[in-house]
Structure 1
Amino acid sequence: MRFTKAQATGNDFVMISDPGAALELSSAEVARLCDRHFGIGADGLILAVAAHQSDDGAAVLSETGLTSTQEAPLWFMDYRNGDGTKAEMCGNGVRAFAHFLIAERLVELHEGDSLPVLTRAGLRTVRKVREGYAVGMGVWSFIDPEMAAESASDSLVQATGLTDPRPALSISMGNPHTVVALPDHSALEGLDLNNAPKVEPVPPNGTNVEFVVPADPLVAEGVGRVSMRVHERGVGETLSCGTGTCAAAAAVRVWAGADAVDTWQVSVPGGEVTVRFTARTDNAEDVELSGPAVLTYSGELILEG
């Protein structure tokens, strides 16, 4: 079985082409492949599957009204967390996925062109841009709109390295995120995210937890800037999280109030991405995430018992 290792701002993935959905990898096998000591090592595994060949892909396909055929397939990003569990969406993973599809000659994409990608969180559109790929991430929303409207927080988070629980705001990007603001970089660097933060109340499907520090000044030349670390659900701390950077920017915009802007630079341990917000007529906001993606190496693997 051929695989390719990819990374997008340090969020790394095992990528496998499986157009006919022939591979049946168990959660344990995925976890072994993603293990950094006994496997290839990655934050997650992504299968490139023709949407009409996969039950999950076909379910998403039916909601879009689009058509996928053997001659002209649409591609489903079958994403698994590092522990083998299925996940809805990964913003960095979508960029790596598009880059992988091009390298495998499964699609052609030139600068300015767009590509539809199906995920468990729905249809996402990837656009080839100078800095890599820009992904239409869909609409962000509050996980608990009533609590968020009252106090701009809906939960408390305790993490190793914090003396007291901190208020947090939970944001959905198709998958759940809980964002915590910290006062300075020393507090951010002092966190031990090897241990999962405790969130109370925790969203129904668990949550990723982002810790953010606003820049000083928060906004310069019309661009907001924040730094972030993340503990990903089912993975642990990662160098980056695409949906997490979008959720972090959305939460900071809420907290910024009148100082909110539409474009944000989010610095993570693995690099920097840009998050842009666009207002819609229904009072919601679309989110776009842009940044690089790199294929690091390819090889063959054998799954032994």
Structure 2
Amino acid sequence: MVAFTKGHGTGNDFIIIADPDGELELTAEQVAVLCDRHFGIGADGVLRVVRSTAIVEGAAALAEEPEAEWFMDYRNADGSIAEMCGNGIRVFAHYLLRSGMATIDHGATLPIGTRAGVRDVTRSATGYQVDLGPWKLAGGEPLVRVDGLPVTRPGLGIDVGNPHVVVALASEAELASVELHRAPDLDPAPAQGANVEFVVPGEPLVRDGIGHVRMRVFERGVGETLSCGTGIAATALAVRYWAGAQAPDNWQVEVPGGTLGMRMFPAEDGEHVGLSGPAQLVFQGDVELV
């Protein structure tokens, strides 16, 4: 039997398994069974809590930041390995604090290793803020076809440690009409796939110096989710890019699971993006891996 905890960030839910010494070998099939909402616990992914010294990928994290004791080994619901998860890392940090495995002193940060590099987590008014690191335009402007929209739409490729394609829609009605029961078709298709976000601007777009948008997302390896932290970052970055030089650096992005904050700020290695929002643990138990 393996102990687990269930948690979520604005409805983006995860199975958390503590494996500090890296003794557990989770297969893709086991992850898929655990995440199945009918035959398993049900989740958008699995967060394995492992020391950076106990996982091969942790060596790069420790070389980047020797204080990054913990590594977030994240798996999508289909068992595939993902580079990063913005909601997941807040839930991961919350678990570490609640379980006594780590602390965040006032004004301090908690560095966490991921396959996209070390990410720093701090406390915020809404829960936690994670520095998602530098971002970049990536993948050009692929055409996106999705059920529910009659014509293809151009998307914008954004990389925030994992790949995204953001698609602007004209109205709330179009956003509601998008059907995400299967993955949107991208042309050209990224080699590693991509999360795809569909976004409409708020009315007005900017209020009191803060940008407002609504978004729905199809997560690579998962399907439609109630929230996607890195997708929220990509959405705000794309809308700011489209809006031009006068667009704000602070945004609120509404998703089906709630609202999260985004801010862009300068750093030594380029502009970074910070994501802030809640994290909750909802229950725990034991499960037999089959």
TM-score, length basis structure 2: 0.97
Matched, 1:300 2:282: no
Shift of 1:246: 0.2
Q: Equivalent residue of 2:57, what SS?
A: helix
Letter in 2 for 1:246: A
Q: 1:287 aligns with which of 263, 266, 273?
A: 273
- In the alignment, does 2:15 pair up with 1:29? no
- State the alpha-carbon separation in 1 of the partners of residues 176 and 155 from structure 2: 18
Answer whether contact 2:65 2:111 (CA < 8 A) is retained.
no
* AA partner of residue 174 (structure 1): G
Aligned counterpart, 1:244? 231
Contact persistence 1:111–1:129 (CA under 8 A): no
Q: Is the 8 A contact 1:264 1:274 kept in 2?
A: yes
Aligned pairs for 1:207-222 (under 5 A) are: 207-222=194-209
**Whole-angstrom CA distance in 1 between matches of 2:106 and 2:147:** 44
CA-CA distance at 1:218 after TM superposition:
0.6
Distance (whole Å) between structure 1 residues aligned to residue 268 and residue 56 of structure 2: 33
Cα deviation, residue 60, structure 1 = 2.8
Kindly provide the CA deviation profile for residues 111-155 of structure 1, in whole angstroms up to 9, marking residues without a partner as x.
5331000000001000012210000000110114xx4xxxxxx11
For the Cα contact (< 8 Å) 1:177–1:207, is it kept in 2? Answer: yes
How far, CA to CA, are the matches of 1:65 and 1:103 in structure 2?
23
Q: Which residue number in structure 2 is paired with residue 61 of structure 1? A: 62
State the superposition RMSD in angstroms: 1.3
CA distance in 1, matches of 2:44, 2:279: 15
> Offset of 1:110 from its aligned partner?
4.4
Q: Percent identity?
A: 52
Q: 5+ unaligned residues in a row in structure 2: which ranges?
A: none
> In structure 2, what is the Cα distance between the partners aligned to 1:59 and 1:131?
31
Q: Aligned pairs, how many?
A: 289
Q: Give unmatched runs, 5+ long, in structure 1.
A: 69-73, 148-153
Partner of 1:119: 114
Whole-angstrom CA distance in 1 between matches of 2:258 and 2:125? 16
TM-score (norm 1): 0.92
Q: CA deviation at 1:103?
A: 1.4
SS of aligned partner of 1:244 = helix
Q: Summarize the alignment of residues 51-130 of structure 1 with structure 2, pairs less than 5 Å apart.
A: 51-62=52-63, 64-66=64-66, 74-130=69-125
Q: Which amino acid aligns with 2:192?
A: N
Matched to 1:289, the amino acid is L
* Deviation readout 1:234-274 (Å, 9 max, x if unpaired): 00000000000000000000100134110000000000000
